[in-house]
Chain A
């Protein structure tokens, strides 16, 4: 892959996707704002419920009230408040996991690609092994070892997904190594560390960012799937994935709001992250592949 020479997109394609996509940016900005100001926005305590008020429907349906605008769950907790605080949990988990994976993967990818030799061998063999382990199985193992907590879910998701960055970054580095400016730097007597930091890193950051935006969606859906399998963010924390898997039993009974609300929230967030990622990819790094 690394051996292919750079191909610029045809101008017409670049021009077409040149403008910032409004929809995903607006959705992401809105969710971020909600997450930041959750304490002011949420009408109730998201973790505390009254069993006497369980399964209240949203306000526009008979039996619902404005007190619980989006209804209540199986323990009588306010769905709106949980959604609002859930934005915080999901974003924090999603972003930190992606950044954690990104930093580890990028650093190892650069070291592996630039230093070559035994470093490369070690890193790449670990990457191969990691990629052959089914991601969810691996995540369940890690959850069992370190125990579930918000922090640990971040570590788990990071530990599972760093390899994707490492592989792509290494490929980029291999081709960068052959470029004029790197050779010049070597001739000029720059240390390996300086070259990696000054010349290589800035040139792979684009790919890492694009990948991060695409991985955000993967990580958030993975968090939900972990909750479905019983090893996600521990309750009563209101992560969207937890809400979704808690609510799924009510779907058949007609308590649709318990699933639809967090489901729509997750879908919007992940869709936006992906749309933005696709756009960034065309802008920053048109020949990035294998995603």
Chain B
């Protein structure tokens, strides 16, 4: 068996990734040791949350395909392997994990002396139980791939696959709730409904009380393996209005406020004592041209799509709408996903755009029809429409409420004009391409045969290097064809109040919330 530890072959990151992760791991252990020698956890931190918190998010076995659920899961629960500051993925409850050379089995070994909040030990039996109980996102995919789960002893679990599946770790460990371990004994005693009312996990915080959609109270799990949390109580308060969140923060009613954008972020930056923070790995946003496969449409011409990408004043939009905190990119697949291809940043060149339009037979521009978008990001769309109009590409904005927008997108109702797409979905470059860029993809309005032909070749490729090369080639073609014109990768903004010394916000790759919770520190 070959042992892979710390880093699971993150492309383009390997050399640096491994070194930093080791260094961080070492410092983490040292800090952990020092922390446990010090006084017990104290103080309360109140966090103003922008989304309503449902009880379903307390149970990782029911994890929906929503990135927000991790906000609670990271506090209450722990996984065998999960994205951490010291690596992505990093061993957590498992001290090591190994893949057999034939790619058919994966073995995880639990750390010694792990306990759930109620004092029960964490065993391989719980790992097996968790997998069997799991009914959240990608459930079928995992079930179909795994032939059996074996528990040779208390600490070891072996997953046997039916056939080699290079994405096993992506799905099992990084994009589902299947490896966030729940206690078999306790759940069998209280039942599923009882578990949701008083969940018990192996994470750094214990459940105290919950008023669904209103307030969640947690308390430090003093014997957490990585290090005991330094903050005794963690209160998550739902405040839906952005301005109200900032006021609550300014008045000291809360210590941390999620999602403070635009003018309010400006105000937070100006206010003494408040600290504006960025989580850089948010969703990517892009323009998509459903008419690019229609030879009668201007969008079928590469030069027109190139002109659109040159019309956007990326830096000014980013500065005006998001304090310059977003990442400007020309790849619609976000940087933190595995197999991402780094492409050169886009350039703003309105004169060049006008020239390309003229060369393509549209001097002075053309009427591009409707610009479809989700109303929660209408401000980004407004800025894009403004820029396009400046080079003569005239489009009318049609913002829809999110539910309606997604439905229309999926039902392929936006056949003409420009669609503003976005995704924060789990997975890797391959799973993103499957949905957006391949023939019959749920959101694909067309496809290019070269890309379609490459796609199946990488699906079962065990050689990671070869697989990466194929996926990079696909992304290169997409980039060259301007199949998508990315606007930005959203830098998610939140604000820390004066009592917060270290918030940990955005410190885990691909994760835009607070965490690891045990590293959060209050001042004084």
A–B touch (CB < 8 A): the answer is yes
**B243 near A235: Cβ-Cβ < 8 Å:** no
Cβ contact of A75, chosen from B270, B319, B320, B408, cutoff 8 A: B320
**B386 near A48: Cβ-Cβ < 8 Å:** yes
Q: Is B253 an interface residue (CB 8 A)?
A: no
Task: Chain B residues near A249: list those with CB within 8 A.
Answer: 242-243, 261-264
- Most chain B CB within a 10 A radius of its CB, from A55, A140, A143, A230: A230
Flag A121-144 by CB within 8 Å of B: 1 or 0 each: 000000000000000000010011
**B243 near A147: Cβ-Cβ < 8 Å:** no
Q: Is A96 an interface residue (CB 8 A)?
A: no
Binds B, one of A12-20, A78-86, A154-162, A251-259: A251-259
CB distance from A233 to the nearest CB of B (A): 10
Name the residue of chain A whose CB is nearest to the CB of B403: A144
- In the complex, A48 Cα to B320 Cα: how many Å? 15
Q: Is A9 an interface residue (CB 8 A)?
A: no
**B267 near A75: Cβ-Cβ < 8 Å:** no
Task: Chain A residues near B452: list those with CB within 8 A.
Answer: none
Answer whether A235 and B397 are a contact pair too, CB < 8 Å, given A51-B383, A74-B262, A252-B243: yes
CB distance from B311 to the nearest CB of A (A): 13
Q: Is A52 an interface residue (CB 8 A)?
A: yes
Q: Is A116 an interface residue (CB 8 A)?
A: no
- In the complex, A51 Cα to B387 Cα: how many Å? 10
**B320 near A144: Cβ-Cβ < 8 Å:** no
- In the complex, A251 Cα to B262 Cα: how many Å? 12
- In the complex, A103 Cα to B375 Cα: how many Å? 32
Answer whether A252 and B267 are a contact pair too, CB < 8 Å, given A48-B389, A143-B401, A231-B375: yes
- In the complex, A251 Cα to B401 Cα: how many Å? 24
Name the residue of chain A whose CB is nearest to the CB of B376: A230
CB distance from A125 to the nearest CB of B (A): 29
Flag B389-414 by CB within 8 Å of A: 1 or 0 each: 10000000111110110001000000
**A235 near B403: Cβ-Cβ < 8 Å:** no
Q: Is B509 an interface residue (CB 8 A)?
A: no
- In the complex, A143 Cα to B403 Cα: how many Å? 11
- In the complex, A143 Cα to B379 Cα: how many Å? 19
Q: Is A248 an interface residue (CB 8 A)?
A: yes
Answer whether A51 and B263 are a contact pair too, CB < 8 Å, given A140-B401, A234-B399, A249-B242: no
- In the complex, A20 Cα to B316 Cα: how many Å? 53
**Interface set, chain B 320-334, CB cutoff 8 A to A:** 320-321
- In the complex, A183 Cα to B82 Cα: how many Å? 84
- In the complex, A48 Cα to B391 Cα: how many Å? 13
Task: Chain B residues near A54: list those with CB within 8 A.
Answer: 320
Q: Is B385 an interface residue (CB 8 A)?
A: yes
Flag B317-352 by CB within 8 Å of A: 1 or 0 each: 101110000000000000000000000000000000
Task: Chain B residues near A48: list those with CB within 8 A.
Answer: 386, 389
Answer whether A253 and B267 are a contact pair too, CB < 8 Å, given A51-B316, A230-B376, A235-B378: yes
Q: Is B62 an interface residue (CB 8 A)?
A: no
Q: Is B368 an interface residue (CB 8 A)?
A: no
Answer whether A236 and B243 are a contact pair too, CB < 8 Å, given A74-B262, A252-B264: no
Q: Is B382 an interface residue (CB 8 A)?
A: yes
Name B's A-contacting residues (CB within 8 A).
242-243, 246-247, 261-264, 266-267, 270, 313, 316-317, 319-321, 375-376, 378-379, 382-383, 385-386, 389, 397-401, 403-404, 408
Name A's B-contacting residues (CB within 8 A).
48-49, 51-52, 54-55, 74-75, 140, 143-145, 147-149, 230-231, 234-236, 248-253, 255
Q: List 22 A-B contacts (CB under 8 A).
A: A49-B386, A51-B316, A74-B262, A140-B401, A144-B403, A144-B404, A147-B400, A147-B408, A148-B399, A234-B398, A234-B399, A235-B378, A235-B399, A236-B382, A236-B385, A236-B397, A248-B243, A249-B242, A249-B261, A249-B263, A252-B264, A253-B267
List 5 A-B pairs, minimum CB-CB distance, nearest first: A144-B404, A253-B267, A250-B263, A51-B316, A230-B375
Q: A74-B379, A144-B403, A249-B243 provided; 6 other pairs, C-beta below 8 A? A: A51-B320, A51-B383, A143-B401, A230-B401, A234-B399, A236-B382
